[in-house]
Amino acid sequence: MTIISPSASEKQSFCQVEYDARNHWLRTTWYGFVNPQQALQSIVSHLDLLSSPLAPLFLNDNSRVLNPWFDSLTWLRYVWESTNTPPPSCVAHVMQPGASANVGDLDTSWTRNAGTDLQLFESVCEAEEWLHTCQHKLR
């Protein structure tokens, strides 16, 4: 894996963006307490990578978020609407523990409109398995 962020000097990292070269997908992992201002700062610092056409697959992992509720799909929508790069073909979104009650609050209409297949998961393992299935379909 190629780690893009956080750097070793960051004291309070809350978002790690990486290109997983072995699996050929982008992965964002959120950690700890994430407020909207931090998420916005993360967009700015990772926009180049996230808007590059490295891979048609994306794993967005909220399983380590400690907030009562954090909707990183809004963050992803902003990333791709802020660039001229189309969103990935497949997005696997791992919800934070206990967030299944808030699934109705997620705005996923932008993914359908963009031609993106978005699936929600409760575990990273399930999300990775689904992305491998997507890889086979895209070949």
Q: What angle do CA 126, 132, 50 make, to 5 degrees?
A: 90
134 has a pLDDT exceeding 50: yes
Give the model's pLDDT for residue 11: 42
Largest Cα separation within the chain, whole Å, is 41
Q: Could you say which DSSP state residue 91 is in? A: E
Q: How far apart are CA 108 and CA 113, in angstroms?
A: 9
Q: Which two tokens stand for residue 92?
A: 């696997």
Q: Which two tokens stand for residue 109?
A: 């209409």
β-pair type (25-32, 57-65): parallel
Give the model's pLDDT for residue 8: 39
Q: How far apart are CA 123 and CA 61, in angstroms?
A: 9
Q: Hunting for tokens 């978020």 — which residue is that?
A: 65
Give the model's pLDDT for residue 129: 97
Domains and CATH numbers, the chain: 2-138 (3.30.750.24)
Tell me the average pLDDT of the chain. 77
DSSP run (H or E) holding 27: strand 25-32
pLDDT per residue as tens digits for the range 63-98: 998 887 666 777 777 777 777 767 788 989 998 887
Q: How far apart are CA 60 and CA 80, in angstroms?
A: 14
